[in-house]
Chain A
Amino acid sequence: MAAVVSPIINYFLTNNLCKDYTAIEGEMSTLVTLNFPNTGNYQNSYYFASQTMLDGQNATITAIEIVPSTELTTLPTGQTNVDSSILPNGVLYLSNLKRQIIATLPLYGLQRSANNGKPTFTYFNDQVWQNCYVEFTANGFTTPTTPLTFRVYYVNKQKN
């Protein structure tokens, strides 16, 4: 039986403002780590390393989630993953080539496990990955040598 779609949900679907939360599976994704210097502190901006395949020129970012140690204890690099207790103290900033802020996303809300298994959907098209950064807003940031780990879902853009 076909599902009944309300006019407002139909508007959201046709305007790319929402999608089925199971639709993320099958998109391309990559694990990105953000390492901190030993002198890391709060209210400083920590930028991602350049990763041009995640730039808006090459890809649309369709979801972002943070991977805490409860979901992945040790990273593929052998490093210990970040403890989720520091996540309420941080915010992820997405930024474009002109360094305009596209989105401000508190880290806690990016955990899939904190949201009943639902990822955070995005539609970022003009981001520059090396201009994106994390800032800790409170002094709960006590393990600066432990990297933050993100899972970024993306769709490649067709090139002529």
Chain B
Amino acid sequence: MNNLIIKRSQLIEAQFTGTPATGKKYQFTEIPNISRNNIVIYGFEAFTATQLAVTPNNNTVVASGVSDQLVVTLIDNDNKERVYQLPYYTAIRSLNGGFVLMVKPFILNLTRSYVQITSATGISANEVASINLYYSIVGED
């Protein structure tokens, strides 16, 4: 069995601003270095407060109990939904045998990609869904 090799990584987050609402799309926060359709992602990993209590941006990460109430959609530079409504739980490494989720590499459109809530119970305003992207830079090996 194979596991992913990290070449570069960056923590990203989608913040549930206001009262968390079922079905609403919460886009990932812009990070200038990787928001110009300039990274090729080949894997990612999601976190709850069990793995990362607070993000480096000082936002509280969602509790582990709500990891089955979120879905993630990642969109490429052609606006195709390359990963559509993936259960957040599936991307938490420690809950999946230690395997990092791998995807067929694609150029990510970060700020169009989003997280949706399927049930708002237990999710507080301004908490974040935090994901670590594993990527290489476009044009780089």
CA distance A20 to B53 in the complex (A): 30
The reply to whether the CB of B94 lies closer than 8 angstroms to some CB of chain A is: yes
Question: Number of contact residues on A: which range applies?
Answer: 35 or more
> Quick check: B2 and A106 within 8 Å, CB to CB?
no
The reply to whether the CB of B86 lies closer than 8 angstroms to some CB of chain A is: no
Within A3-42, the residues touching B (CB, 8 Å) are 8-9, 11-13, 16-21
Binary CB contact string for chain A from 116 to 155 against chain B (1 if under 8 A, 0 otherwise)? 1110111110000000000101101000000000000000
> Quick check: A89 and B54 within 8 Å, CB to CB?
yes
The reply to whether the CB of A49 lies closer than 8 angstroms to some CB of chain B is: no
> Quick check: B2 and A137 within 8 Å, CB to CB?
no
> Quick check: A109 and B4 within 8 Å, CB to CB?
no
> Quick check: A118 and B56 within 8 Å, CB to CB?
no
> Quick check: A140 and B53 within 8 Å, CB to CB?
yes
The reply to whether the CB of B97 lies closer than 8 angstroms to some CB of chain A is: yes
**How many interface residues does B have (CB within 8 Å)?**
33
The CB with the most chain B CB atoms within 10 A, among A16, A91, A140, is that of A91
Contact A137/B6 with A88-B51, A108-B51 known, Cβ cut-off 8 Å: no
> Quick check: A138 and B54 within 8 Å, CB to CB?
yes
Q: How distant is A43 from chain B, measured CB to nearest CB, in Å?
A: 7
B50: chain A residues at CB < 8 Å are 88, 108
B4: chain A residues at CB < 8 Å are 12, 17-18, 121
> Quick check: A103 and B9 within 8 Å, CB to CB?
yes
> Quick check: B6 and A116 within 8 Å, CB to CB?
no
Q: Of the 9-residue stretches B22-30, B41-49, B69-77, B117-125, which lies at the interface with chain A?
A: B41-49
> Quick check: B5 and A109 within 8 Å, CB to CB?
no
B6: chain A residues at CB < 8 Å are 103, 105, 120-124
Contact A114/B94 with A8-B104, A21-B3, A123-B6 known, Cβ cut-off 8 Å: yes
Q: Which residue of B lies closest to A135 (CB)?
A: B56
B111: chain A residues at CB < 8 Å are none
Q: Which residue of B lies closest to A101 (CB)?
A: B10
B interface, CB within 8 angstroms of A: 1-11, 42-43, 45, 47, 49-56, 58, 93-94, 97-99, 102, 104-105, 132
Q: What are 17 A-B contacts defined by CB distance under 8 Å? A: A11-B105, A17-B5, A17-B102, A18-B4, A19-B2, A88-B50, A88-B53, A89-B53, A91-B52, A104-B11, A105-B6, A108-B50, A121-B5, A123-B5, A123-B6, A137-B58, A140-B53
Knowing that A106-B51, A118-B97 are A-B contacts, what are 12 other residue pairs whose CB atoms are under 8 Å apart, sorted by A's residue number?
A17-B43, A19-B3, A88-B51, A88-B53, A102-B9, A104-B10, A104-B56, A104-B132, A108-B50, A109-B45, A114-B98, A123-B5
